[in-house]
Amino acid sequence: MKTIMLSSKNQIVVPSAVRKKMSASSADRFIVAKITATEAMLRKEP
């Protein structure tokens, strides 16, 4: 599990190892789903 931070612009950076496993590139879109008050899930849009 990786730790990331929210920037001052409210942006996150997906670590490169995770991007590679997801075959993600800069043009890809993602869906963010709230799981609990402290958890969210990031899914690559089909």
CATH number of the CATH domain containing 33: 2.10.260
In the chain, how many domains are there?
Answer: 1
Cα–Cα distance, 17 to 15 (Å, whole number): 6
What is the predicted pLDDT for the residue at 1? 78
Q: Per residue in 12-43, pLDDT tens? A: 999 999 999 999 999 999 999 999 999 999 99
* pTM for this predicted structure: 0.71
Of 32, 14, 33, the C-alpha closest to 24 is 14
How would residue 46 be classed by pLDDT, with cut points 50, 70 and 90?
Answer: confident
Structural domain including 5 reads: 1-46
Give CB contacts under 8 A, 24+ apart, made by 22-27.
Answer: none
